[in-house]
C-alpha cells in the first residue's frame, strides 16, 4: 500500500574495488603534490594493440571498465598520476601512507556527495517547474471534489481535512493506534475511478505499521474497528504531496481508498 551470472558479478565486484583503490591513490597523491596546470588528458600514441590471449582480453576489459567509471564529469582525473598509482600498486610501493589515503578518500566522498546532492536538488527544481501546470490542475480538481463531497450523505470530515464514509460496520471494539501494525484489504483509486493499487485484486491482504504509511492512512485507520469497511477521500497533502510518486501517483493527487480492517497486531 501507500508504501545470475555469478562469475561475471564477482569480476565486476573486483573491478570496482580496483577502481576505488586507484581513486584513493589519485586523489591523495594529487593533494599531496599539486602539479602545475597542464593538459591532463591521455597522451595520444600510435600504439597498435592486438588481443591474442585470455590475459589480453581481461586486461582490455579492465581498461574499458575503468574508462567507463572515469567518465563522470565531476571527477577530475590526472591520468599521469593514475598510471603512476597503478605502477606503484603493482610494484607494492606507495607514495602515501594508509592514513593519508583514508583521509583523502573521505574528503573525496564528501565532495562527490555534496556535488550529487546539489545536482539532485537542481533536477528536482527542474521537474517541479515542469510539472507546475499539472500540480495546479490536480489541486483545483481535488479541492473542487472535496468541497462538493463533504456535503454528500454519510461523509464526515476530520480537522485535518480527511474525508471518510462508513460502508460497513464491523463487530470489533478496538481501534488501532499509530504504532499498531494492521492487516487490511484495500483498493486505491484516482478521481477518475481508475484503480492504481488493490490488495483485493491480488487476493492478498496487506500488513504494515500505521506510522510508516501516508498521513491519511495513519489518521483514518485509527477511526476504524476490526471488521469495519470505510471509504477515505484523502487530500494530496495527506497523501503523496505535490511530488506524487514517480511512475505511480501523479503530483498533488487526491486519492480515494476503500479499506477493510481485518486485524490489529
Structural domain spans, the chain: 6-96, 131-264
Q: Which of 135, 164, 186, 233 is an active site residue?
A: 186
Question: Above 70 in pLDDT, residue 11?
Answer: no
The mean pLDDT value of the chain amounts to: 85
| Catalytic-residue membership of 237 | no
| Catalytic-residue membership of 56 | no
SS3 label, residue 249? strand
User: Residue 157: which residues within 8 A CB-CB, separation 6 or more?
Assistant: 150, 163
| Catalytic-residue membership of 214 | yes
Q: Which of 79, 145, 196, 208 is an active site residue?
A: 196
pLDDT at 162: 99
In this structure, what DSSP letter does residue 178 have?
T
Q: Which of 77, 135, 214, 264 is an active site residue?
A: 214
C-beta of residue 187 within 8 angstroms of C-beta of residue 257: yes
| Catalytic-residue membership of 257 | yes
Tell me the mean pLDDT in the region 202-230. Answer: 97
Q: How far is the C-alpha of 22 from the C-alpha of 150, rounded, in Å?
A: 63
pLDDT tens-digit profile of 41-89?
A: 555 555 677 899 999 999 889 888 888 877 777 777 888 888 888 889 8
**Could you give the percent of the chain with pLDDT greater than 90?**
59
Q: Categorize the per-residue pLDDT at 3 as very low, low, confident or very high, splitting at 50, 70 and 90.
A: low
pLDDT tens-digit profile of 19-34?
A: 554 554 444 444 444 4
| Catalytic-residue membership of 164 | no
C-beta of residue 204 within 8 angstroms of C-beta of residue 192: no
Q: Which of 233, 240, 249, 256 is an active site residue?
A: 240
pLDDT tens-digit profile of 103-116?
A: 988 998 898 899 98
| Catalytic-residue membership of 196 | yes
User: Residue 149: which residues within 8 A CB-CB, separation 6 or more?
Assistant: 155, 163, 233
What is the C-alpha R_g of the chain? 29
The dotted CATH code for 131-264 is 3.10.50.40
pLDDT tens-digit profile of 138-161?
A: 999 999 999 999 999 999 999 999
Q: Which of 135, 197, 230, 264 is an active site residue?
A: 197
Amino acid at each position: 500500500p501507500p508504501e545470475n551470472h555469478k562469475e561475471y558479478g564477482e569480476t565486476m565486484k573486483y573491478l570496482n574495488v580496483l577502481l576505488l583503490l586507484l581513486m584513493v591513490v589519485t586523489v591523495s597523491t594529487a593533494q599531496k603534490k599539486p602539479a602545475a596546470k597542464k593538459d591532463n588528458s591521455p597522451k595520444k600514441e600510435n600504439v597498435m594493440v592486438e588481443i591474442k590471449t585470455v590475459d589480453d582480453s581481461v586486461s582490455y576489459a579492465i581498461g574499458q571498465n575503468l574508462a567507463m567509471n572515469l567518465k563522470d564529469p565531476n571527477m577530475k582525473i590526472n591520468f599521469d598520476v593514475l598510471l603512476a598509482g597503478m605502477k606503484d600498486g603493482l610494484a607494492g610501493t606507495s607514495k602515501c601512507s594508509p592514513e593519508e589515503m583514508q583521509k583523502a578518500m573521505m574528503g573525496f566522498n564528501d565532495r562527490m556527495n555534496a556535488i550529487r546532492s546539489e545536482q539532485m536538488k537542481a533536477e528536482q527544481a527542474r521537474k517541479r517547474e515542469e510539472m507546475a501546470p499539472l500540480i495546479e490542475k490536480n489541486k483545483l480538481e481535488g479541492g473542487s471534489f472535496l468541497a462538493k463531497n463533504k456535503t454528500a450523505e454519510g461523509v464526515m470530515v476530520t480537522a485535518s481535512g480527511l474525508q471518510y464514509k462508513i460502508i460497513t460496520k464491523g463487530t470489533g471494539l478496538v481501534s488501532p493506534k499509530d504504532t499498531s501494525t494492521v492487516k487490511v484489504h484495500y483498493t486505491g483509486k484516482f478521481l477518475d475511478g481508475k484503480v492504481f493499487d488493490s490488495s483485493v485484486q491480488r487476493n492478498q491482504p496487506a500488513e504494515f505499521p500505521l506510522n510508516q504509511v501516508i498521513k491519511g492512512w495513519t489518521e483514518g485507520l485509527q477511526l476504524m474497528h476490526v471488521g469495519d469497511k470505510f471509504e477515505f477521500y484523502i487530500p494530496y497533502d495527506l497523501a503523496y504531496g505535490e511530488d506524487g510518486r514517480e511512475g505511480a501517483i501523479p503530483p498533488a493527487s487526491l486519492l480515494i481508498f476503500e479499506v477493510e480492517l481485518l486485524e490489529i497486531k
